[in-house]
Structures are given as C-alpha cells and as structure tokens.
Chain A
C-alpha cells in the first residue's frame, strides 16, 4: 500500500511542496525536511507542548498532527513569528525576567503565550497558568515565565 503523499502548504509565508510519509509528524517535517528546528520534539505524545506551532492561526501540537494533514494549511512556527516581530515583546520580557533556563520549552511557551496575548484580554495569573498548563518547563521555572507573560499582557513592557 502507498505510504508517501505529496503535500503543498504555506510555512511562515512561503509556499512549500514536498513528498512525505504518512507517518511523519508535522514537527518532524518542519525540523527534518525544512530545517526549522525551533519547534522541539519532546514527549511526542501531546503532553509537554514543546512542539507547539500554529496551523491556520490556531496553536496545535506538532507531534499530534501528521505532516500529510497539514496539506493546504498555513503553518507558522516560532521562526516565522520571531522574524515578523510578533513575538518581540514576549521574547524581550522572557529575556529580562530570566524566564528560560535550558530553553527547551521556550519556543512552545512563546507560542502558547502569544495565543493568549492575541485574545486581547488582561488575564489573571491563574488564567495565564491555565493557558500554559499544557507546556512543561522541566527546569520548573514557571514563576518567571508567568511573570514575563503577565508583564506583556498588562502592557508594562
């Protein structure tokens, strides 16, 4: 049975066509085929959030979506959102607040935080924690991460 499929999608604004194996996850496609290694493959079963990317404007798990499912979609990664400066305020706050230690979770944290920021509300710390509950920081540096997100959300940055 045929296991490879042609896909055409837009990644960070650029049209991309590739032939992919059905079993390949979106995050592995981005990392291995396109060299976009900002999205990290951590737990690979949807728990850690390190692979968070945007598909058609909404954040998803890159390890719980197949590359073939992204056919026809618009995919944005941490690289794209960095280049467009959409993440600039969050990145500055993460830097200033020391909201990263090893940095492995940071791209996913930024993508999840930006998703909350886009909603345009002023969430409480509790709501920020709920929104990033699907993103694990194994250095356990959550306090500083919540501080950084809160600072940007409340426009102090």
Chain B
C-alpha cells in the first residue's frame, strides 16, 4: 500500500503549472484525498504530481452580483465554516457534512471532488441541481461550462488535457428557493448508497448512475413517474438496483415533503 515512485513539483504561478502539465503523464494534486489513496493502491502511477496548492487565485469564496464564486482549492472544512455558503448556497452547505470525515474534509477540495467526478460524490449532484458554472483555464484561454455539460461519464469530465478547473460559480439562492440534501450511507461519511440534491423542482440523484441523474417534476406524481422511467441505478456490493431504486423513491418523497412545507 505504498505509492510507486513519482516526481513532485509545486509551481508558484499558472504559467509554470501549465508548463508542467504539458507532460502527458503528469497529474494534478490538490487536496489529494482521492488521488493519494489511488496512488497507494497503485490504481494510478503518474510520473509527476503537480501540486497546485501554491497557485494564486484558486482559493477563497467571493460574492458576485447574483452568484457566489468558490475557488477550486477551497476545502470541505472551509465550505462547512463559511457563513456565505450557508446563506447563499444552502444546498451545498447541507451536503458538506456528508463528505467523508473531519480529517479528510480539512484537506479535500471542491475542485478536486468536481474534477474527479466520482458518481457517489455529493458536490457534482449539487452543481447539477443548482445549475452551477465551471470556470476552466488553459494556458491561453478561460472558458465556462454549465454543470449539465461538465459531467460526461464515469470519472469523466469536460476538462481537457492541460486544463485546470479554477472555480465553480453557484447562483445565489433566492428567498423563494427551496433546497434539501439527503443521503443514505451505511455509516456516517461512507460512500453514499444513494443520495439526492433537490432544488425546487430539480431532483438530482448521486450514486445512481455514472453521472448525476436529473429528474424534473412539478408534482410528486410526475417526479415519481419520471424516476421509475429514467433511473436505472447500478447495483453495488450490498444493494441491488431494485433496492437503490426503492431508496431513491423514499428520498424523493422525503425531499418533496421538505421542500413543499419549507417556509
């Protein structure tokens, strides 16, 4: 359970980082809370780790006109403690305590979680539910991608080689918005069996497919019908597809009851 040998570099500027990322066998290291286990288990063996935690402009939470910009290097613990996130992105704030454990939340980052795109992760589902925008930089350009187009497949995103995710922008919650995050796991902090990020009439399931699965419905009956039509969760070691589908229905009902009775 020791990683294979690799080189390490911690660039101090974006151009220096892009130079290093020219190496096709380089990997970006942020918090490392998913990358380092995969190195330890030798599921991954890059030649070079490019530690981006020294880069300027990738950390911090800032308010913009109608949105809140969260730098890619913002840790789960920083999100958890942020009054601004609690106030303006309550769905994300509700999701954070479900992410692993305190010691991992102190190092893991929102950018890392999004860029890895684990199908059981909390933030990708929140991003799709809230229609967040991903800010991506390359050496020459900056582009913005909507959450619905960012998650492409199992551990696959719209990020191209040589690009860096620098921030995620979430629309600030309006007074009439209602959102709730629910997750079922065997133990606190374990991988989700199934989870739901619900925002108004957008219901996004995690752990239900290779990417976050969006169900829309302005009535419970419609959402239920849509759920049984389009959700085909893959089984895991302990839960069959049918069990997961049943649990998804349970979460949908709980979320519906919460969002329709919230004031």
- On A, residues with C-beta under 8 Å from B are 1-3, 5, 21-23, 25, 28, 43-46, 49, 52, 58-61, 63-66, 68-69, 112, 115, 129-131, 133-135
Contacts and interface: CB of A to CB of B under 8 A. Distances in A.
B40 A63 contact: yes
Given A23-B4, A43-B1, A61-B104, 20 more contacts: A3-B7, A22-B5, A23-B6, A25-B3, A28-B2, A44-B2, A46-B100, A58-B106, A63-B40, A64-B37, A64-B107, A65-B32, A68-B8, A69-B32, A112-B102, A112-B103, A129-B188, A130-B97, A131-B102, A134-B103
Interface string B1-29: 11111111000000000000000000001
Interface in B180-195: 187-189
Contact of A23 (B3, B53, B188): B3
A44 B1 contact: yes
B97 to A, nearest CB: 8
Nearest to B41: A45
Nearest to B39: A23
Contact of A49 (B39, B48, B103): B103
Interface string B73-105: 000010000000000000000000100111110
Given A44-B1, A58-B77, A1 B106 contact: no
Contacts of A134: 100-104, 189
B2 A21 contact: no
Contacts of A28: 2
Contacts, number: 93
19 contacts: A2-B7, A22-B5, A22-B49, A23-B4, A28-B2, A44-B1, A49-B103, A60-B106, A61-B33, A65-B36, A65-B107, A69-B29, A69-B32, A69-B53, A112-B103, A115-B102, A129-B188, A133-B188, A134-B100
A46 B7 contact: no
A40 to B, nearest CB: 13
B107 A3 contact: no
A46 B37 contact: yes
Interface in B99-146: 100-104, 106-107
A18 B29 CA distance: 22
A133 B101 contact: yes
B187 A3 contact: no
Nearest to B75: A58
A22 B5 CA distance: 7
A46 B100 CA distance: 10
A52 to B, nearest CB: 6
A25 B35 CA distance: 13
Contact of A3 (B5, B41, B51): B5
B132 to A, nearest CB: 26
Contacts of A65: 32, 36, 107
B221 to A, nearest CB: 36
